[in-house]
Structure 1
Amino acid sequence: MTKQLKADLALLMVTIIWGSSFVLSKNALAYLPTYNFLAVRFILAALISAIIFYKNIISMDKDTLRYGLLIGVILFAGYAFQTVGLNYTTASKSGFITGFSVVIVPIFSALLLKQKPHRAALIGVAFAIVGLGLLTLNSTLTLTKGDFYTLICAFLFALHIITVGKYTVKVDSIAMAIIQIAVVGFLSLIFSFAIETPIFPTGKTVWFNLLILAIFATSGAFIIQNAMQKFTSPTHTALIYTGEPVFSAMFAYILLKEVLPPQGIVGSVLILLGMIVSEVDWKAVFSKSEQKSIYNPNKQ
């Protein structure tokens, strides 16, 4: 198993975690305002991560801090525009437009990192974007103010993937991830006090949801992303992340008995097919096929 395949599998695990976290986030948001929820989730994740990886924090250099702050601001801006956009558009359109980052990442990679995506990855992207459309879009395809805000969010999430891929090879990936998480938590806290009436969460249910989200869907997920992007491309990362609504739908069915319509099932299949197409080494497959056709011991 190659390092890239191991990295892609780790990122797939992150995608599954984020897909399953939808139900927990929905439960927590029933008790807390949006930025209040993000502040508690990310600050808690930053504290837990800093305690576990305190050696990485102590030995952190200036570059790690600088890159972490930069990427953290980009990540928070993505969440902020997505949240604002949701006030003016549907959740299905928001999911599709956010997933459009899978198209933006190869373009950014070519322009900013001079990395030309492989043909198989581009084919996988095409499958994924059609699948996202079927999975998330309804019959209303008009562009609204919320759609525009969400499109900015898609560019920011794409930029987050690109910057992580660029800088994680230069510094301590774990420390850089923790800084990002802390920045999102701190800026969310500021926004919460500015536009909400923040409250301190109480009750076992909300704290159970917050702890699971903080440990697995925030601390673990972003640390894995930062560490694993050393061994895979930004395009692969974005493509794998398109599976989030697929796994979200799966867990919604298991836990909430929500059923996808037929077009959603087709869309999910296309997204998963896109991932498979991008992962298979087609040159090796075709070269083996050619070798078998050239040498056939049964041929007289």
Structure 2
Amino acid sequence: MIAESRIRTLATIGLLAMTAVWGSTFVLIKGVVDRWPVADFLAVRFIIAAIAMLLVFHRHVARLGRQKLWRGVVLGMLYGVGQLLQTWGLSLISPSVSGFVTGMYVVFTPILATLVFRQRMPAIIWLAVGLATLGLALLSLNGFSVDEGVWLTLIAALLYGLHIVLLGRWSHAEEAFGLSAVQMVVIAVVCMLATVSHGGPALPPDRSAWIAVLYMALIAGAGAMLMQTWAQAHLPATRAAIVMTTEPVFAAFFAVLLGSDVLTWRMVGGGALVLAAMYLVELMPRRRAEGELPAEAVHHEV
């Protein structure tokens, strides 16, 4: 039990680190997609990430059985389509609204876990979901209108929630390297297909775009996917989703740190609510419920 608790703590820290990296990308890639088509940016990013992961983990991929390979394909398709929809939606709505709608995967995750796998969620999870949603709204929203961009982003959030639920059920620690690599290859293929209409992806237009895409590919892409896959082998999906709602908190932090935004009471209040939600599910002593069994125990039921 002590070893298991330590591993779950490390998994949580890993997810937080990954989410901090995601939060840093909002400032890093600002302006890059204005000079470079969105689909091209995503395709080049994930092609580089896929090549890097295959070079390092090709033996792990070879050891995966047919079932695991197909599961990696399904997970990669969900994530890849989600990336495209989220980014296209972002081109139609403000970044703050996009951040809030994307963060709605924290609501979709327990709902999908209940519907797909019939997991019972303890009341504390639903309370945490409510706090996280309020925090995201306070952190991100300045007006809200339901238009095409919102719907595209909402569908992306639904796909992310399903990805988190399925990854939590299908990921095993010993197969995380191979499963991560398969997902990355499929994501690259999905994004490549989105560029077929204009003859394939164009290369980055300048040095700063190259720096951004390499960081996004190797750190925020390959590294983050590997960390998420490993961490979700040890954490229930709903807890992972709530931990990952700290992304807009980190995004606001880096925006203020790098001088592209000013600290406001909304940032402080929204960030506090998101962190409170994470505290409820991660740090407070509680009884385990059926929907909160360790990921390892759930896997044996498959």
Residue 253, structure 1, aligned to residue 249, structure 2: no
Instruction: Quote how far apart the aligned CAs of 1:207 are.
Output: 2.1
- Residues matched between the structures, number: 283
Residue 201, structure 1, aligned to residue 204, structure 2: yes
Residue 7, structure 1, aligned to residue 11, structure 2: yes
Instruction: Quote how far apart the aligned CAs of 1:117 are.
Output: 2.5
Note the aligned Cα RMSD (angstroms): 2.0
Residue 22, structure 1, aligned to residue 9, structure 2: no
In structure 1, the partner of 2:150 is 147
Q: Which TM-score applies when normalising by structure 2?
A: 0.87
In structure 1, the partner of 2:222 is 219
In structure 2, the partner of 1:175 is 178
Instruction: Quote how far apart the aligned CAs of 1:6 are.
Output: 1.9
Q: Matched residues in 2 for 1:81 and 1:202: separation?
A: 23
Q: Matched residues in 2 for 1:205 and 1:83: separation?
A: 20
Letter in 2 for 1:105: T
Q: Is the 8 A contact 1:124 1:278 kept in 2?
A: yes
Letter in 1 for 2:161: A
Deviations, residues 165-219 of structure 1 (Å, cap 9, x unaligned): 1111398222111111111112212212315873222543322222222111110
1:267 pairs with 266, 270, 277, which one? 270
1:82-101 superposed matches below 5 A = 82-101=86-105
Q: Matched residues in 2 for 1:117 and 1:260: separation?
A: 35
Q: Matched residues in 1 for 2:207 and 2:92: separation?
A: 33
In structure 1, the partner of 2:300 is none
Residue 228, structure 1, aligned to residue 231, structure 2: yes
Q: Matched residues in 1 for 2:261 and 2:95: separation?
A: 15
Q: Matched residues in 1 for 2:130 and 2:208: separation?
A: 41
Q: Between the two proteins, what is the percent identity of the paired residues? A: 32
**Residues 1:120 and 1:9: Cα distance change in structure 2 (over 3 Å):** farther
Deviations, residues 38-88 of structure 1 (Å, cap 9, x unaligned): 111111011111111222123232122211111111111211222232243
Q: Matched residues in 2 for 1:160 and 1:31: separation?
A: 30
Q: Matched residues in 1 for 2:278 and 2:267: separation?
A: 17
Instruction: Quote how far apart the aligned CAs of 1:157 are.
Output: 0.7
Q: Name the SS of the counterpart of 1:282 in structure 2.
A: coil
Instruction: Quote how far apart the aligned CAs of 1:270 are.
Output: 1.0
Q: Is the 8 A contact 2:90 2:98 kept in 1?
A: yes
Q: Matched residues in 2 for 1:196 and 1:143: separation?
A: 33
Q: Is the 8 A contact 2:44 2:201 kept in 1?
A: no
Q: Is the 8 A contact 1:14 1:217 kept in 2?
A: yes
**Residues 1:194 and 1:149: Cα distance change in structure 2 (over 3 Å):** same
Q: Is the 8 A contact 2:252 2:267 kept in 1?
A: no
Q: Is the 8 A contact 1:64 1:175 kept in 2?
A: no
**Residues 1:119 and 1:4: Cα distance change in structure 2 (over 3 Å):** farther
Q: Name the SS of the counterpart of 2:194 in structure 1.
A: helix
Q: Which TM-score applies when normalising by structure 1?
A: 0.87
What 5-or-longer segments of structure 2 have no aligned partner? 288-302
Residue 118, structure 1, aligned to residue 122, structure 2: yes
Q: Matched residues in 2 for 1:65 and 1:50: separation?
A: 14
Deviations, residues 216-251 of structure 1 (Å, cap 9, x unaligned): 111010011111111111111110111101101111
Residue 237, structure 1, aligned to residue 228, structure 2: no
Q: Is the 8 A contact 1:33 1:196 kept in 2?
A: no
Q: Is the 8 A contact 1:16 1:247 kept in 2?
A: yes
What 5-or-longer segments of structure 1 have no aligned partner? 285-300
Residue 184, structure 1, aligned to residue 177, structure 2: no
Letter in 1 for 2:236: S
In structure 2, the partner of 1:135 is 139
Q: Matched residues in 1 for 2:29 and 2:184: separation?
A: 17
